[in-house]
Structure 1
Amino acid sequence: MKIRVYQLAKELGVPSKQLVEELKKLGVDIVSYQSTVDEETADLLRELLKAEPLQVAESGKESKVESTEEETVTAEAGKSEKELAPKRPPVVTVMGHVDHGKTTLLDAIRRTRVAEREVGGITQSIGASVVNYKGQKIVFIDTPGHEAFTEMRARGAMVTDIVVLVVAADEGVMPQTIEALNHAKAAGVAIIVALNKMDRPGANPDRVMNQLAAMGLIPESWGGDTIYVPVSAIKGEGIEDLLEAIILIADLLDLRGDPEAPLKAYVIESRLDKGKGPLATVVVREGTLRVGDFVVVGTTYGKIRAMFDDKGDPISSAGPSMPAEIMGIQDVPEAGTLVQRVDSLEEAERIAKSNSDLQRDKQQKTRKEFSLEEILSSSEEEKPVLNLILKADTAGSLEAVQNALLKLEKGEVDMNIIHAGVGAISDGDVILAEASKALIVGFNVRPVGKTNKLIEEKGIKVLTYRIIYDLVDDMANLLKGLVKPKEVEVVLGHAEVRRTFKVPRVGTVAGCYVTDGKIVRNGRVRVLRNGVIVAETSIGSLKRFKDDVREVVQGFECGVGLENFHDIKEGDILEVYTIQEEVA
């Protein structure tokens, strides 16, 4: 009979991490706390710990080993502030594909009826909630999606300790599952997989485990270190197993927070209430937030007049990991904003005004695009790391690009593909690139619509290609430390095809509306269909009514004829660009 290390640790009352170290000292070959040991080894550990108990330092508990006062003082002095701080509850974010049951799972955990009150199946803003399980607290944050999770990370607000990745066992891994997983990986947080909808006839957990194992989440039953928990949110089955897994991971992470430390809290949600005014839900990371505190919250400030817990009950304070809705600030802050305590309302107002001035100056200036040198220098390692986000038009193309890049020799720069997906370059890709200081590389795809504006606002570097050899050559040069491309592309404008006309001896002419910038006669042009490049050519003719013109600017209609391409359709986007040599 075998027993898992974490189960034995729980039985002996010692941290799993510490028991793993003791087993390794004994020469036992184990991978992690999920590994198993035989009954003989377990009995040996029981005898050893009975004869000489391990010292377990936990706040508020006496050591199992008696010691003199002098020894105790010496031991305490050798510990870091983090080790001396009390343990804090884990903060958990639930992520996954839109229809795989995230909110229903949270509903089952909280024993509320939130899911039934949703509008149109989209999660409404419900902030954070605290669950008490067997005397231990767990804080759950319900974000609208992985993009919101990463937007907060981009602003420096890392409040999540553990991500529960929800995957429907009957449908398996979906595109949003992959995106959520990559966002969680980029954040460097612990991941637990909840195999939901196990009550469905088509549930196939083995298929899901195979799919996710290929992405690096090796199940503990296969010798890996990822916990997979089968659940049925709708029936409430497996919920306790999931909570046990969260408590286990939290124990291994040894999460601690000092309630006496300087305050560090982050806004996770905010709203304007007609009766109470601006309200913000915050999660405390360090220190303690109290009623009466003077606070600066980004560009706003105030004195906290009241605080409420996750059930809406008034509270006087909130310590590490605890969520609270605060009332008394002047305006509604953005999610991810840092909350700081100051000595007076006057000081709070002065700092908030300074923050507001800095933000306005930043908005007035056109943000400089991240150079490749800046992307490479953002790594904390001695050897620069190039973080990549890859997007392609088809799964086959994506696989070909990934395989080609993985074969490249590493030079002065290491490469890390943090996300790879099929389809147009999206807002989510841009947000992830900003948070991870990554370069976006598109193969046969482009950003469309508002994503172009977001790229400009965030200053994200985007490279797109039609020929795989060009893509691979450029990436090879980057890995060798050659970070300056020879040519740069400048997008002049976009036009939407609203009607098409067949003209004898000419072909198809597109009736277009210029949505931004300008389009020019003889300019290079890409035809984008749902973000995928279907043709690259040039503008052969450009007319306003019946007149030939050199260019048409934003807000005007025009007729466009393309060179050697007539399969143009309504809804296509024409992206006009030029190539310029980069000045060294």
Structure 2
Amino acid sequence: MANTRINQIAKEAKVSNKEVIAKLAELGIEVEDEKAEIDEEDAQLVLDLLKEENGETISIDGPLTVQNLADAVGKSVSEVIMELMKMGTMATINQEVTFEVASLLAQKYGFNLEVAGSDEDVEEELEKLMQIQEDKEEDLKPRPPVVTVMGHVDHGKTSLLDAIRNTRVTSSEAGGITQHIGASEVSINGQKIVFLDTPGHEAFTSMRARGAQVTDIAILVVAADDGIMPQTIEAINHANAAGVPLIVAINKIDKPGANPDKVKKELADEGLLVEDWGGSVISVEVSAKKNQNIDTLLEMVLLVAEMEELRANPNKRAVGTVIEAQLDKARGPVATVLVQGGTLKVGDPIVAGVASGKVRAMINAKGKRVKQAGPSTAVEILGLSEVPLGGDQFVAVPTDKIARSVSEKRQLIQREEMLKSSQRMSLDDLFNQMNEGQVKDLNVVIKADVQGSVQAVKQSLEKLSTEEVSVRVIHGGVGAINESDVLLAAASNAIIIGFNVRPVSGAESLADKESVDIRTYTIIYKAIEDIQAAMSGLLDPELRDEDTGKAEIREVYKISGVGAVAGCYVTSGKIYRNCKVRIVRDGIIIQECELLALKRFKDDVKEVNNGYECGMSFVNYNDIKVGDIVEAYVQKEVKREL
């Protein structure tokens, strides 16, 4: 645009020549007439200002994808993507961007952006479609109860479920501990009960809490020979927080040391008074091993469910909760969902957290394919775009387009949050952190077989954080440990924790090359112990005093120019030159200082052994008396344990 004429600027900015001259005058650039020419920089500046003030309005009908935006501003897709990258937004050709980003980009090219049916209207419409409408009284119908089995590790939760559904699960679990949330259905007297089996290990608190949030009744399993334990109390708190009625199953009554009355007393101490003792909490004494009173327990569940009047509307779009999710090699993302309202059908478009898709298949608790699932039904679904998080709400929506749109918007928000959290530290930030106490990070990448385990391991490790060392989980995902995980760990100086997964062959060789530590586990206790050891290595070593010897002052000599010199007898150990000493009088430390000189007769020596006499003088201290004890010590760095 070198030597650009006034009329050329006016034509491109779609204004009159006089307006161009007036704008130049505002900028202090004088021109003779409309035929005058101005240099390139001034011309570009005026053109940009005029376009900004009088920019052409462009309208995009449809989603704000990169393709549609490029078409509207008349630029190539690659150029638009490059501009978006400069603005800090990473997007592909078919990906949507926010209205704010699109508007800023349009302004760069001299346009004002409008969206047919404004972005706010689109958002409001999506919100309406995603909202769960309140059901009318006449539409509600009875539904089966959803039951969560909770309690301390090894109190027999899974064994109790085995007895209820006549299966064997415990033998296949690593360490005899249930590692995932499972869902199953049983029938009694023609009525259905849905069970969610939550792990009893303390580390899975978050998963147990999720179970309580979607459940109607909680069965608290307490071993008759063991009584109330820490995880039992946690389970009670989760159930109370969720407002869920409790039924206590006192298990293992067949064992010789069983004492149900002791359990009831301990329950009363925790605020749960059972019916036998005049309270309102139902308790059933059972034996999962001997199959005793299992039917009674199920009847009590149905009784409580009847009192709770559990109802739902099956004639609407399905809503519910993702109980568990994992990545299956053959089937792709697989999610176990609990339908809480409406009916989910094969072919329904759904949104679950940031994931979306169309239900391609549904498998019930018995492993059979079903075409629809009503309220209080747990099913595995296939067809999602990615693995959702356990605890995410899922909603069936009218069309695929809406599902994708909501999913993309949520992914965009998630990406922006991740970019904010992973921004590189500036020198200012580093200085601030140093002033705050130099918190050290132990970075961890977690990979597991299911999403619930990722969250559980993450929370367990983050609990290990102290004021001095912070455990920071920089990434958690489902599936095998791959090359990208290793590269992330290498870039972040992190270690990789694999839970029930193994690294792929390429990842192992890359980890060796990049010196990335990969640890794999099947029991969570081991992972926690190893992380504690790693954290101990990061802590600044502790300085400990190690005594080397003791000496008794038997004579004090005053020497001019030197000060007080102690004539000593070494009673134990060794006294070293330049060591640190404590001077003790009547069992009280009166001074800590360093040895100034250590002599045998007139000679300086490096050390004096037990049973020998020596002379000592001390740095800046002369107030010594006969009978004082000199304790010599050295300071050693000792690796601290958490």
The alignment's TM-score, normalised by the length of structure 2, stands at: 0.47
Distance in 2 between residues matched to 1:105 and 1:150, nearest whole Å: 20
Partner of 1:198: 253
1:363 deviates by 3.5
Which one-letter code corresponds to 1:271 in the other structure? Q
For 1:21-36, what aligned pairs fall within 5 Å after superposition? none
Q: 1:245 to 1:95 in 2, by over 3 A?
A: same
Partner of 2:318: 263
* Contact preservation (8 Å) 2:154, 2:177: no
* 1:240 counterpart (289, 295, 304): 295
Q: Does 1:314 align with 2:369?
A: yes
SS at match of 1:210: helix
Which one-letter code corresponds to 1:496 in the other structure? L
For 1:312-461, what aligned pairs fall within 5 Å after superposition? 312-365=367-420, 448=466, 453=471
Which one-letter code corresponds to 1:205 in the other structure? P
If asked which structure has higher relative contact order (CA below 8 Å, sep 6+), I would say 1
1:263 deviates by 2.2
Partner of 2:158: 103
Partner of 2:575: none
Distance in 1 between residues matched to 2:540 and 2:258, nearest whole Å: 44
Distance in 1 between residues matched to 2:260 and 2:387, nearest whole Å: 43
Distance in 2 between residues matched to 1:451 and 1:155, nearest whole Å: 29
Q: 1:451 to 1:230 in 2, by over 3 A?
A: farther
Distance in 2 between residues matched to 1:450 and 1:311, nearest whole Å: 50
Distance in 2 between residues matched to 1:506 and 1:186, nearest whole Å: 60
Q: Would you tell me which structure has more helix in proportion to its own residues? A: 2
- Once the two structures are aligned, what percentage of the paired residues are identical? 49
Which one-letter code corresponds to 1:306 in the other structure? A
Partner of 2:147: 92
Q: Does 1:231 align with 2:286?
A: yes
* Contact preservation (8 Å) 2:198, 2:207: no
Q: Does 1:134 align with 2:203?
A: no
Distance in 2 between residues matched to 1:506 and 1:188, nearest whole Å: 65
Distance in 1 between residues matched to 2:464 and 2:361, nearest whole Å: 48
Q: 1:244 to 1:140 in 2, by over 3 A?
A: same
Partner of 1:477: none
For 1:461-476, what aligned pairs fall within 5 Å after superposition? none
CA deviation vs aligned residue, 1:262-301 (integer Å, no higher than 9, x gap): 4211110112222211110000111110000011111111
CA deviation vs aligned residue, 1:521-576 (integer Å, no higher than 9, x gap): xxxxxxxxxxxxxxxxxxxxxxxxxxxxxxxxxxxxxxxxxxxxx99975434xxx
Which one-letter code corresponds to 2:268 in the other structure? A
Partner of 1:483: none
Distance in 2 between residues matched to 1:353 and 1:153, nearest whole Å: 30
Aligned length: 335
Distance in 1 between residues matched to 2:257 and 2:208, nearest whole Å: 36
RMSD value, Cα: 4.0
* Contact preservation (8 Å) 1:153, 1:336: no
Gaps of 5+ in 2: 1-133, 423-454, 476-535, 551-634
1:121 deviates by 1.0
Distance in 2 between residues matched to 1:308 and 1:455, nearest whole Å: 33
Gaps of 5+ in 1: 1-78, 368-426, 433-444, 458-492, 508-565, 574-584
Distance in 2 between residues matched to 1:156 and 1:240, nearest whole Å: 23
Q: 1:504 to 1:170 in 2, by over 3 A?
A: closer
Q: 1:506 to 1:152 in 2, by over 3 A?
A: farther
* 1:277 counterpart (296, 315, 332): 332
Q: 1:91 to 1:567 in 2, by over 3 A?
A: farther
Distance in 2 between residues matched to 1:177 and 1:156, nearest whole Å: 15
Q: 1:456 to 1:334 in 2, by over 3 A?
A: closer
Which one-letter code corresponds to 2:259 in the other structure? N
* 2:641 counterpart (542, 556, 572): 572
Distance in 1 between residues matched to 2:465 and 2:262, nearest whole Å: 33
SS at match of 2:220: strand
Q: Does 1:287 align with 2:356?
A: no
1:149 deviates by 7.8
Distance in 1 between residues matched to 2:252 and 2:320, nearest whole Å: 35
Distance in 1 between residues matched to 2:345 and 2:291, nearest whole Å: 36
Q: Does 1:166 align with 2:235?
A: no
Q: 1:236 to 1:501 in 2, by over 3 A?
A: same
Which one-letter code corresponds to 1:132 in the other structure? S
Which one-letter code corresponds to 2:347 in the other structure? G
Which one-letter code corresponds to 2:276 in the other structure? S
Distance in 1 between residues matched to 2:253 and 2:212, nearest whole Å: 34
Partner of 1:75: none
The alignment's TM-score, normalised by the length of structure 1, stands at: 0.51
